[in-house]
Structure 1
Amino acid sequence: MSKGIQLFVGVILISLFSLEIPTRAFRLYEKGDTEKAIEVLNKSLEKDSLNPAGNFLYSKIFIDSLFKSYSIDSAYHFVNKAISNFKQVKDSKDLDNLKELGIDSAALQQQKDKIDKLKFEVIKGKHTISDYNGFINKHADADQIPEAIQLRNHIAFEDAAAVHTWQSYLTFMTKYPKAEDYGKAKPLYEKLLFEEKTADGKLESLTSFLEEHPETPYHESVEKDIYEIVTATNQIEDYTDFLKKYPNQKLTRKSIPRLYQLFKELYPDQDFFKYFKFQTAKDSIEKVNALEAGYWLPKIEDGKISFINSKAETTLKTGFDKVDTNCLCSPQLADFVLGEKGGKQQIVARNGTVIYEGDFDSASDVGFGYIQIESESGFMLVHKSGELIIDQPMSSTAVLNSRFIRTEQNGFYGLTTINKKPLLSHQFIDIDTIGNFIWLEKEEGIALAKTETLFPAANGDKVDLDFIYEEVELLDDGNFWVVKNGQEAILDTQLNTLIPFGTYKIYPKTYGWQLKSAKGIQLLHNKYLSLKDLHYEKVVESERWLGLKKDGKWALLDQAGKFQPKYNYDSLGLWGENIVMLKKEEQTTALFYNGKQLDIKKGWEPKLLIPQSYVSTGAKVEFDFLMLTGPKKARKIYNSFGREILSITLEDAVALGPNLIRLQKKNAALTDSTGNYVLNFIYDGIGSNTNGYVSILDKGKVGVINIEKQIKIPPTYDKLIEPYSDTVMVATKGKLKGFISTKNRELSAFDYDEVKYFTDTVALARIENEWFLHNIRDESLHYEGILNYKMLEENSQEKKLLITTENGKGVYSNTRGEFIEATYDEIKVLGTTNDPIYFAVKIVREANIYVVIYFDKNGNKLFTQTFKQDEYFKIACPKN
C-alpha cells in the first residue's frame, strides 16, 4: 500500500471516531467524589489511550491535598501525557469539547507549571545537590530551573568552602563553570594554590609555581619573592639575570638605582650607560649621574639654604632652614646633602629627591649606595634610592663587601640582606670579613664561611657553620694562621691545609715558616727543603744569612747567594746585613757579603759601624763597615766587601753615611768609603749627618760639608748652617740670619730673625713681628707687612698664602701675587684644594652687617651677599 493511500485511510478512520472525553469523571470530581471519578477515568483511559482530558484530570487529582495517594511525580507524569495527547488532537470539534472542560494548551501549561512549582518546593525542602539535579533533569523546562541550578551550585560552593582546599574549589569551578559563586571560588582557589605551592618560600617552589601557573594573580608577589632571594647577593649579574627572565617594570625601577650604585663603586672609571640600556628610570639616573660631578657649597637664597657648584651656579634649592658645621666648612662631595627643614632632618639627593626624613643626628655614606643614619636610638640604613633597608634602630650597622649588612642588637651581631631577608639572627659575638671569608664568632669558637655558603639562608635553607677555631689571623700573603684545640696550623686562601695542626708556634718568614715547639725550631724553607724534618736549638737570620744551632754546633746557610753551607762552628753572630762573625775554637773569622773571610787576630776587638743615615731614616742597610781595634788604639776599618780601607790610630770612628766616615783624634777628619780623605785632621769637631749635610766646627764657628753636592763651607758662622734649596743656604752671624750660596757667597744682609721656605727664589723672612717675602736673587721684597700667614695650597705649579696685615686678610700666590687684597676681616677657604672658593667677609660693625664676597680660585668675584648677624652665622663656617 502506498504512503498516500495509508494517509488517506488514516484520515478517514480518525474522522469516523470521536475523541474519548471523560466528561462524567470531571463532574464526579467537581462534586467531590474522587473515587467514582477515578473509576470512570480508568475505564475512559482503557477505552482510548489518546485521552488528553483523562490524563489532565489525573494530574489534578494527584496533587489534590485530600487525595490519599497524593503524588506530585504522578501528577507530573499525567500532565506531560495530557500535553502530548493534546498535541495530537486536530479535530476542531474535539478541541471545542476539550475547551468546554477548560482544557487547552494554556491550561495544560498552567497545570504543568503548578506541578513544577509544587515539586520544586519539595526539592528546596530537601536542598541537596542530587535532588536539585533530579529536578533539573526531569523538569528541564520548569520556570524554577535557573533557581534550582543556582541553589545546587551554591551548595556545591559551600561544600567546597567547607573543605577549603584549592582542590575543592578547582573541582567546583570545573564542574560548575557558570555558577554565580565561581567569582568567589576562583580567588580562593588561586590564593590556596599559591599558599600551598609556595609555602616553603623556596626559590624552586616559587619558580615552579610561576612556570605552572603563569596567569596567577600572585604573579607580581611571586616575582618579588624570587627577586628577594636571587638578588640577596646584591651582585650586578644577579640583577641582570633576574630582569632578563622576569621583565618586571616595578622591579626594574627598583633595580636600576641599586645597579647604578654598585657599578659606580666597583667600576668608578666606567660608563654605566654604556653597559646598561634600561629605558625605565633612564632619565632620572642620567640626571643623578650628571649632577654628581664636582663639589657643592651651601648658599642662602630668600632666607633658605640652597646649594651652588664651584662656578657659584645654583644647583639645588632644598628649602633647608639650616645645615650642620660639616656642610658649612667642607665641600660637599657626596651625592646627597643634609639639612633641617620644618624641624625635621632631611637627606636629599642631588636631583632634589628626599631620600629620608626624620629625627636623626648624622648621616654618612658607607658605600655601595647605602647611607647610615645615626640618632639617639641607634643606627638605621637607607639606600640612596630612598628604600629603607634597616628600619629599626640598631646598636650598629655595617656593610660587609657589598653583599651583607651586619646589624648589632643587645651586644650580639646578625646578618641580613639588601632585601631585608635575615640570614643570621643576632646570636654572634662578632661578624666581620676576613680575606674572602666571613668571620662568625660565638662563645664556642670561630667559623669561617664563604659568602656563597650563607646565601642559601635567604632561600630558607639551613646554613651549617663549624665553630672549630679558637683564633684566626689573616697573614700578609692571604693565608690564614689558625688555632684549634690549642694547636696551630696554616691554611691557604681556600682553607686547605698548608701546615697541619700541631703543638708548635708558627711564625711566617720571608723564606717560608718557622715552627717552635718543645722539640726545638723547625724550618720550612723555600730553598733548603731538607731542613723541614730537623729541629734546631737556636736560629739567627738576616735577609742574606741563616745560622742554625744543633747539638751545640752552628751551621751557616746562604739564603740569597750561592755559597755552600758552612758547618761545625762554636758560635755564630750576624753583624748587620752583610757580615757574619764565626768562631771555631780560638779563631774568630769575619765573613763578608761577597764571601771574603778575615781572620781576627787575638787582641783585636771588632765593632760594626752602621751609617747614621740608615739609622735616622730607618732605611735598609746596604753598606756598613767593620772596625777592628788593637793595641794602643790602633784601628783597621773594612768595607762590606772585606777590603781594608784604613789602618790608623784613632780615638774613635763613626760612619756618617755609606760613603762617609768621621775619624776622631784630637781633631776630626772625614774619609770616604775607599779611605780617601775628604777633610784632614784640621777641625775641632765634625757633627752628625743630616740628609747628607755634615756640620764642621772650629774655634766656636760652624761650617758645613756635603760630599755628594760638592759643598764645603768653612766654619766662619755662629750657628748651624741650614740648606734652603739646592743652591742656597741659610747662615747666622751673631743672632741674625741671612742667605749664602753653596759656594759661600753672601746673597743678602744678615737682618732676619727667622727664615721659612716659600719657593726656591722667594723666602718668608721675619724681622721682629713682621714677615716679608724676600727675593733671594736681588734682595727685593715682593710683599711687606705680613703679621701672620698660613699656607693654603702647595704644589709644583703654585703656592698660596693666607696673609694677615694691619689692613686685614688676603690671599697671595707665588705666581700671581696678591690676588685677593688683604682688606677683609675674615677669609674662609671653601671647596677643594684644587678648586677652592674664597669666602671673604667685611664687617660693618656699626650696623652689625656682614658683607660676604665669594671669589673663585683665580680671585674673580662670583657674587656678593649682605647679612644680618643671625643670618650670617647660618651660612658661615664657625671654624677658623
Structure 2
Amino acid sequence: MIRKFTILCVVMLLSGYLKAQLSSERSAWSSLSKQKWVRAHEQLKKILEKDSANAAAHYVMARYFFAPANPQFHIDSAHLHATASLHDYSRLTSKQREKMKRFPLDSIIIIRLLEQVDSAAFHRAQQLNTEAAYAYFIDVFPSAREHSEALKLREKAAFAEAQSIHTHQAFSAYIYKYPEGSQVAEARSLYEKLLFEEKTRDKRLESYDIFLRVHPQTTHRKEAEQHIFEIATASGTIESFRNFLQRYPQSMFRERAEQILYYLQVEEPPAQPLQGNGADSSRVYTSLPRHYLVPFLQKNGYGFMDENGFDVIAPEVDELNDEYRCGNIDEDVVVLPGRVVSRNGTLVYKGEVTSVDDLGSGFLLIENQHCVKVMHKTGFNPGDPCVEDAKVLNGKLLALKKDGKWSVRTLTGLQLIPFEWDNIAYTGDVLIFQRNKQFWLATTETISAIANQESPRLKDAFEEVKPWPNGRIWARAGKFEGVFDQQLNVYIPFREQRLLPAFFGAQARIENQWMIYNAQGEYTEPYDTVLVSKPWAAARTQNKWRLLIPLQHLTARATYDSVFFAGTFAVGIRNDSTFIQSTEGKTLLKVKGLARIEFVPAQDSSAFFILDHADKRILYNHAGQKLFAVVYDRIHHAGKNIFVVIKRDKKGLVAADGKLLLLVEYDAIGMESHGTVSLLKAKKFGLYDVQRKKLIKPEYGKNLSLYNERILVALKNGSYGFIGWDNKPLSNFEFAEVQPWNDTLAWVKKNFMWMLYNLKTKKTQLDRIRNMKLILDKANERLAIVQQDNAYGVIHNTKGMIIPLNFSDIVNVGSPEKPMYFTEKHVEEASVFVVIYYNHEGKFLRKEIYEQDDYEKIYCSDHK
C-alpha cells in the first residue's frame, strides 16, 4: 500500500509539474508519469547530451532514478542529478529563475527532493547496518540531515584500524568518526590520495573521467583534470582539442586547450568557432582576428595599437626594431628588448633573446646565450627548461633534443618517448625513428596512444626509409623492398625487388620482369618491358604490346605489334593498321596502314592531334572528331576554339571549323586572353577580338591593353593615348604613362605630372600630382596616396578623397586591404610635428605631437 501510495504521489506531482515545462522536459515528465521508464530515460539523456547544465532536466532525471516503481531505481544517481540540478539552478540569473518557476522548479523544490533522497539513502544504510554502509552514506551524502546520527553509529571504528587496513574507505570512516581528531588532517590526506590512486591505477582516460564524475569534490581534481587534458588531446589534432572543450567545458585546463587550438586552427583555415559554454578566455582565443599591429611613441616609450587604434601593448618599450617601424605587423609575436609578446599583448617570454624561430603549431624556439627554450605563443613551456633543439612533427607532436638524443612529447608537454633516439623525422602522419643507422616506423596515432597507456608498436627495423609520392613510405631491409601507406598498411609487399615510383603508383622489377601497381595497390601480371608516358603505360610480353591506363584499370583491351605515344594519345599498330586510343580507353580512330600522329597540346584540359595519312593532314579533337584539313606547316592551339596556323614562318588565325579568321601574314600571334589575341607585324602591334571579330591592325609601338570593354590603351610615336575598337582616337597621344582607375577616370602622366583624366569629357579632374603611389590595385578597387604640390592625401577610385590634400606627409602603416594612415603636419614655427593616425575609412584614431628627435624615432620612411 505504501509503494502504491508513493507511486500515486509521484504521478500526481509529475502531472502538476508537466503543464509549466518546456516541450522536451514536458515530454520526459509525461513519459515518467506514465511509467514509461525507458522512454523517459532516453528523452532525458538526449536533453542532457545537448545541454549538460540543465537544472530542469537534471531534476527530472533525479525523479526518474528516485521513482520506486522504476526498475532502474537508483538513489545515488538520483542524488547526483539532484545535486547537479541544484548546482545548475544556482548559476541561473534572476530572470531565468522566474522562468523556471513555470516548470515549476525552484531551490526549495530541489532541496526537498535532495532531503528525500538523503533520507532514503540513510534508511538503506540502516538496513545494511555496517560500518562501510555508514561510511559510504557520510561520504556520498555529506549534507543529509541524518549525518550526525550516522557519525554516532560509526563510533566503533578507530584510527588504528584505519591504519592497519590502509584503504581510502578506512580513512574516510575515521575522518567522519573523529572530525576533531588530532590525526584527521593526515587521515584526510591519505584518504584522498589512496582513493585517487585506486580509482586511476591504470592511468587511462576513462578512469580519470569516471573518478571526477563520481568524486567531483576531490582534492586531486587538478591532477585528474590535467591527466584528462593531456590524454584526451595527445593526438594533437584540431578535433581532439575541440572534443575536449566540448566534453569538459568547465575544466581548469580549458584556457590552455583554447590557446593551443587557436594556433592549430590558424595554420589550418578556416578556423571554426568553438561550441559549448564559454569562459572569457574562449572569446579571446577563438575569435582573435588576424589584425595587424602598428607602433606608436608616447612619452619616450613605444607601444603598439591594433587597426582600430586600441592599445594592445602599453607604451613601455625603450627601443623599437626597424622592421616594426612601418607597422602592418601581422606576426603572432613581437620580439622586444628583454621579452617576447603575443599580438594580443600576452607575455610569452621574459628575458634575454638572441633569436626566435617559429616551429609551427603555435610553438617558438627562443634562444639566448645560456639556453634554448621551447615556448608556446601564449606563454607556457611544454618541455624541459632548456633543450638543444626542437621541431613539430606534422603539426601534432613535439620532438625535443637534449644531450644529443631526441624524445617525443604531446603539444601539451606530456612525454611519450624518452630521450633515446638519434633522430626523429616524419612524413605525413608516419614518424621515422633512427638509432644506430637503423629506422623504425610508427604512426602519430600509435605514438599518441602511449598517453593512454597503450604499448608503442614500431615496425621492424629497416636499413633505409624515404618518402614516396602520395604520402607513401618506401623501406628497405637488405634486398627486400616494400611500400607502406600512411596507416603503415602494406601497399607493396616486401620481396626481393627494385621499386620505382610512378604517377599511377609504382613499378616493380623482379629479376628480369616488371609489374605495375596502381593507387589501390592492385597489380598486373609480370611483363618483359614497361614504358610509361602519363597517363599511359605500355607493357610487352611474348613480343606483344598492351596499352594500359593504370589510373583507371590495369587490364589491357587489345594487343599490338608496336605502340608509341603522342601527348595524351596512345597509338597502337597491328596488322598494318594504326589505332589511336583516348584516355577513356576508346579507339578514337582506326587507319589502314601506317600513319604519322602529331600531338597538338591545348591551353585547357582538352587536346588535339594531326593525322598524316595518304597525303592528307587532318586535325582531330580529343574525342576523335575531325575538325578540318591542315594545309599549314604547323598549328598551335591559341585557346578556346581558335588555332594559330603557321606557313613559311607567317602566322594566321583559324577557327575550329577551319574558317580563316586572320590571314597568314603576321609575324606573331599571341594566346587568347580575355577574348582577344595580340598581333605583331613589321614590328607593329595590333589586336583582334575573337568574339566580335573586330580587328585593330598592327600600327602601334607596344601591345594594346584593354582599359575596359570599349576603350583600349595604345602607344604611338612614343606616347600613350586612348582608342576605341573602331581604331579611332579617343584622346591625343600625349601621355608618358597610363594607370587604370575606374571606367570614367584614368591616371595619366604628362610633363612629369600625374592627373586624373575623364575619358568621357576628355578633361582633367585632378592635376599637379607630383607623385601617385598605389596602395591597393585590384580590378574593382584601387587606392592611392597622392602628392599635389607639397600636400599629401589619399584617394579611392569609387569613394573619392579618403584623406584630404592638406598634410606634409602620409604613410600607410597598415595593410593594403585595410590601411592605417600615418599623417603628419609640420608646424615650422613651433618646430613640432603633429602626427594623426586615421583608419581605412579616414576616421580619426589618435594624435601625437613630437619634436624633431622624437619624430625621427617613429617615422617610417618606407612609403607603402
- Same fold flag (TM > 0.5): yes
State the AA in 2 paired with 1:258: A
Work out the CA distance in 1 between the residues paired with 2:533 and 2:458. 41
Offset at 1:500? 0.3
For structure 2, the residue ranges without an aligned partner over 5 or more in a row are: 1-163
Specify the alignment match of 2:305 in structure 1: 308
Is 1:608 the counterpart of 2:635? The answer is no
One-letter amino acid of the counterpart of residue 296, structure 2: K
Measured in 1, the distance between the counterparts of 2:626 and 2:282 equals 72
Matched with 2:514 is 521
1:865 Cα deviation after fit: 1.5
* Residues 346 and 357 in structure 1, CA contact (< 8 A), matched pair in contact too: yes
- One-letter code aligned to 1:573: F
Q: 1: distance between equivalents of 2:225 and 2:549?
A: 65
Aligned AA (2:840): K
Contact residue 230 and residue 238 of structure 1 kept, 8 A: no
Shift in CA distance, 491/846, structure 1 to aligned 2, threshold 3 Å: same
Q: Deviations over 1:482-535 (max 9, x none)?
A: 333343323234222232013334455565543234423212358997x71231
Query: Residue 83 of structure 2 aligns with which residue?
Result: none
Whole-Å separation in 1 of the counterparts to 2:204 and 2:358:
36
CA contact (8 A) 1:653 1:662 kept: yes
Q: Secondary structure at the match of 1:424?
A: strand
Q: Which residue does 1:319 correspond to in 2?
A: 316
Q: 2:567 aligned with 1:576, yes or no?
A: yes
Residues 351-750 of structure 1 mapped to structure 2, 5 A cutoff: 354-361=347-354, 370=363, 372-383=365-376, 386-390=379-383, 392-400=385-393, 404-409=397-402, 412-417=405-410, 420-454=413-447, 463=456, 465-466=458-459, 468-473=461-466, 477-507=470-500, 513-524=506-517, 532-543=524-535, 545-557=536-548, 565-569=557-561, 571-578=562-569, 580-584=570-574, 595-599=588-592, 606=596, 608=598, 610=600, 614=603, 619-626=604-611, 636-640=617-621, 641=624, 643=626, 645-646=628-629, 648=631, 653-657=635-639, 658-665=641-648, 669-680=652-663, 683=665, 685-689=667-671, 691=673, 693-696=676-679, 701-750=684-733
Calculate percent identity across the aligned residue pairs. 21
> Does the alignment pair 1:257 with 2:240?
no
- The one-letter code of the counterpart of 1:689 is M
Farther off after superposition, 584-593 or 314-323: 584-593
Amino acid at match of 1:299: F
Task: Please report how far the alpha carbon of residue 672 of structure 1 lies from its aligned counterpart in structure 2 after TM superposition.
Answer: 2.0
Distance 1:875 1:435 in 2: 45
For the 8 Å contact 1:703–1:715, the answer to whether it is kept is yes
Deviations 1:41-62 (A, max 9, x none): xxxxxxxxxxxxxxxxxxxxxx
Verify the 8 A CA contact 1:840 1:854 in the aligned structure 2. Answer: yes
Deviation at 1:713, TM superposition (A): 1.7
Question: Cα deviation per residue 1:564-590 (whole Å; 9 max; x = unaligned)?
Answer: 833232x32111224x44445776666
Letter in 2 for 1:388: N
The residue aligned with 1:276 is 277
Q: Which residue identity lines up with residue 382 of structure 2 in the other structure?
A: I
Residue 261 of structure 2 aligns to a residue whose secondary structure is helix
| Native 8 Å contact 1:606 1:629 kept in 2 | no
Name which of 309, 314, 326 aligns with 1:329: 326
Q: Using a 3 Å threshold, how does the CA distance of structure 1 residues 861 and 514 change in structure 2: closer, same or farther?
A: same
Measured in 1, the distance between the counterparts of 2:630 and 2:290 equals 69
TM-score (norm. length: structure 1): 0.64
Residues of 2 paired with 1:208 and 1:639: CA distance?
A: 69
Q: Deviation of residue 230 (structure 1)?
A: 4.1
- Structure 2 distance, partners of 1:208, 1:859, is 54
Paired letter, 1:577: T
Partner of 2:99: none
Distance 1:690 1:412, change over 3 A: farther
1:203 is aligned to 203
Distance (Å, rounded) in 1 between the aligned partners of 2:721 and 2:845: 42
State the distance in 1 between where 2:767 and 2:655 align: 46
- C-alpha distance in structure 1 between counterparts of 2:862 and 2:753, whole Å: 25
Of 270, 294, 299, the residue aligned with 1:297 is 294
Aligned partner of 2:339 among 336, 345, 352: 345
CA deviation string 1:89-116 (max 9, x = no partner): xxxxxxxxxxxxxxxxxxxxxxxxxxxx
Deviations 1:268-321 (A, max 9, x none): 75554x5136xxxx4565567787685443333344344434332445636333
User: Contact conserved, 2:422 with 2:436, CA < 8 A, in 1?
Assistant: yes
8 Å Cα contact 2:423-2:435 kept in structure 1: yes
Distance 2:591 2:645 in 1: 23
Q: Provide the secondary structure at the position in 1 that maps to 2:709.
A: coil
Change (3 A) 1:680 1:448: same
Structure 1 CA distance for aligned equivalents of residues 852 and 705 of structure 2? 49
Structure 1: any 5+ residue segments left out of the alignment? 1-163
* Corresponding pairs, count: 681
Secondary structure of the 2:691 match is coil
- For residues 822 and 197 of structure 1, the distance between their equivalents in structure 2, rounded to whole angstroms, comes to 74
Deviates more, 1:282-291 or 1:698-707: 282-291
Distance 2:351 2:260 in 1: 23
CA distance in 2 between counterparts of 1:208 and 1:748 reads: 79
Q: Please give the TM-score of this superposition, normalised by the length of structure 2.
A: 0.65
Closer/same/farther in 2, CA of residues 451 and 647 from structure 1, 3 Å limit: closer
Counterparts of 1:349 and 1:644, CA distance in 2: 61
Q: Tell me how far 1:695 sits from its aligned partner.
A: 4.5
Distance in 1 between residues matched to 2:287 and 2:683, nearest whole Å: 68
- Residues 336-363 of structure 1, C-alpha deviation per residue, up to 9 Å, x if partnerless? 76544xxx3253684x664542222466
**Counterpart-to-counterpart distance in 2, 1:720 and 1:346:** 52
- More displaced 10-residue stretch of structure 1: 489-498 or 581-590: 581-590
Work out whether 1:785 is the aligned partner of 2:785: no
What whole-Å deviation, never above 9, does each CA across 1:810-838 have from its counterpart, x for those lacking one? Answer: 32211133432455454322334443210
Q: Are 2:527 and 2:540, in contact at CA under 8 Å, matched by a contact in 1?
A: no
Q: Residues 620-646 of structure 1: CA distance to partner in whole angstroms, max 9, x if unpaired? A: 44334345695xxxx633223263722
Report Cα offsets for 1:190-211 as digits up to 9, x if no partner.
599979989x997389979999
Contact 2:226 2:253 in 1 (8 A): no
Counterpart contact for 1:513–1:525, Cα < 8 Å: yes
Q: CA deviation at 1:800?
A: 0.4
CA distance in 1, matches of 2:720, 2:855: 45
Residues of 1 paired with 2:549 and 2:417: CA distance? 53
Q: Deviations over 1:700-758 (max 9, x none)?
A: 65433242342312234454434444333333333223222223232221222333444
1:734 & 1:527 partners in 2: Cα distance? 64
Measured in 2, the distance between the counterparts of 1:606 and 1:655 equals 19
